[in-house]
Structure 1
Amino acid sequence: MQAELNLPGPYQPHAGLMAAFEACPLIAILRGVTPADAADHGRALYEAGFRIVEVPLNSPQPFDSIAAIRQALPSDAIVGAGTVLQAVFVHQVKQAGGELIVMPHADPEVVSAAKSHAMACAPGVATPTEAFIALKNGADVLKMFPAEQLGCQVVKAWRAVIATQVPLLPVGGITPDNMGPFLTAGANGFGLGSALYKPGQSATTTASHAKAFINGLRIARAGAKK
């Protein structure tokens, strides 16, 4: 009953996203990737264990990159777009094969557009008010952004009032070595940016960084259970 009291309405998260998140709760952010390289980086991430990949829309030809990654990866991977600032872009992401809309903010129109297309949505929130409004509008997970500013104490405070079945994902400044305190505070996963991928790096480098994050998550989870 308590979990139900901590939700603004029925919570029916996107099944595909939840399955991918259960397999690996790390979202790879390929900001700046090009269509020519996107598939190679997507495959490197998948082989390392990642199951969720986003291409921010302020990347070169992002819809082409989303399509390339979607075609390159098995169906259990979730591919989508980040930095989706306006609802008008949601349909284009869907046409490219995307299933996930990630935002730095919590614009209700963008969240509603994603849900109307049966897509998963991870809006960015920085206050409990934004978080509960986003959930009311249909958010699947909550992107706590920027994590550097919010910190572990805020995660802990939010976890006390937001239903446990709603994943909290700190994004911003996450490295393979600093995930433990966030998990202990109640985070469920993370969005990974420049520490995982920088424009122009090789797919081999992406694979190496991805493996470091997977190992860091394993260590952090073990520490959080103590």
Structure 2
Amino acid sequence: MLSIEEISACGIIPVVVLNDAEDAVPTARALLAGGIDVMEITFRTAAAQASIAWVAAEVPEMKVGAGTVVTVEQARDAVAAGAKFLVSPGSDLDIIREAAALDVPIVPGVLTPCEIMIGLKFGVKLFKFFPAESYGGLKTIKALCGPFPQIKFIPTGGINQENAVEYFKNPKIQAVGGSWMVSAKMIEAGEFDAIKEKSAAATALYKEIRG
């Protein structure tokens, strides 16, 4: 099993919404061409499970995971399809336990100390902070790290090419999540060259700051 740190090593986790599973493979290849080798396909659409399966089968070098996992059943379906990791918008004990049973890493979402303490009980030390910009962004993250110095975050929500800079500079940020390089509109319009270019720009920004 890959660790979530290995999965997120490129510093950016694209949040990908796919309404048509046929777009999954070209989207994955566009992200790879831009230097991003991980993608979180959200369970917000009926195409999610098939999309994960297509990427896992056709683009093995892509570390594909499932996002917006809000039920145990979704966790099982995602892993059965080939997901290498799970991301949830909140901290749910049943889903965290199921991820452990399925032997895949999970990044549960948090906003409060109570939610962080739930994850810590199960050995989770990397959390999704969502929706980041709506809940104070780095200011809140820095405050939360006071009583919990052992944790790191993947902030998601409202992050873009401009404000990602300050997140990348903070050592408590493992990676940032977002869709500015791979929006649903870009996918549906078949703008895969644009996805490649925006992914390359995001990758260059990360490497400029983190080295």
TM-score range, shorter chain: 0.7 to 0.9
Alignment pair present for 1:211 and 2:200: yes
- For residue 214 of structure 1, report the CA deviation from its aligned partner: 0.9
Aligned to 2:154: 169
- Rounded to whole Å, the distance in 2 between the matches of 1:95 and 1:210 is 28
Q: CA deviation at 1:18?
A: 2.2
Secondary structure, aligned partner of 1:15? coil
Deviation at 1:17, TM superposition (A): 2.9
Partner in structure 2 of residue 116 of structure 1: 101
Stretches of structure 1 that go unaligned for 5 or more consecutive residues are 1-13
1:99, 1:173 → 2: CA distance? 25
Give the aligned residue type for 2:7: A
Counterpart residue number, 1:34: 20
1:97 corresponds, among 82, 86, 89, to: 82
**Count of aligned residue pairs for this structure pair:** 206
What is the alpha-carbon distance in structure 1 between the residues aligned to residue 154 and residue 27 of structure 2? 22
SS in 2 for 1:208: helix
* Partner secondary structure for residue 176 of structure 1: coil
Equivalent residue for 2:5, pick from 11, 18, 39: 18
Closer, same or farther: CA 136–112 of 1 in aligned 2, 3 Å: same
Residues 101-135 of structure 1: CA deviation (Å, up to 9, x unaligned): 11111111111111110011011100122112123
Q: Return the offset for 1:47.
A: 2.2
Q: What do residues 57-110 of structure 1 show as CA deviations (whole Å, max 9, x unaligned)?
A: 1123211100111122234x3211111111121111111011211111111111
Structure 1 CA distance for aligned equivalents of residues 169 and 23 of structure 2: 36
Cross-structure match for 2:122: 137
Quote the offset at 1:163 in angstroms.
3.8
Q: Does 1:56 align with 2:42?
A: yes
The normalised TM-score by structure 2 is 0.88
Q: What residue number does 1:68 align with? A: 54
Question: Identity rate of aligned residues, in percent?
Answer: 25
Shift of 1:33: 4.3
Say yes or no: does 1:79 pair with 2:64: yes
Distance in 1, Cα, partners of 2:174 & 2:22: 33
Query: Secondary structure of the residue that 1:116 maps to in structure 2?
Result: helix
Moved over 6 A (4+): none
- Residue aligning to 2:132: 147
Q: Does 1:125 align with 2:110?
A: yes
Distance 1:72 1:139 in 2: 31
Instruction: Determine the structure 2 residue equivalent to 1:8.
Output: none
Gaps of 5+ in 2: none
Tell me the CA shift for residue 188 of structure 1: 2.2
Question: Contact 2:14/2:181 (CA < 8 Å) preserved in 1?
Answer: no
- What TM-score comes out, normalization by structure 1 length? 0.82
Asked if the contact 1:16/1:78 (under 8 Å) is kept, the reply is: no
Query: Counterparts of 1:171-186 in structure 2 under 5 Å?
Result: 171-185=156-170, 186=172
Out of 186-195 and 204-213, give the one that drifted further.
186-195
**What RMSD, in angstroms, separates the aligned Cα atoms of the two structures?**
2.0
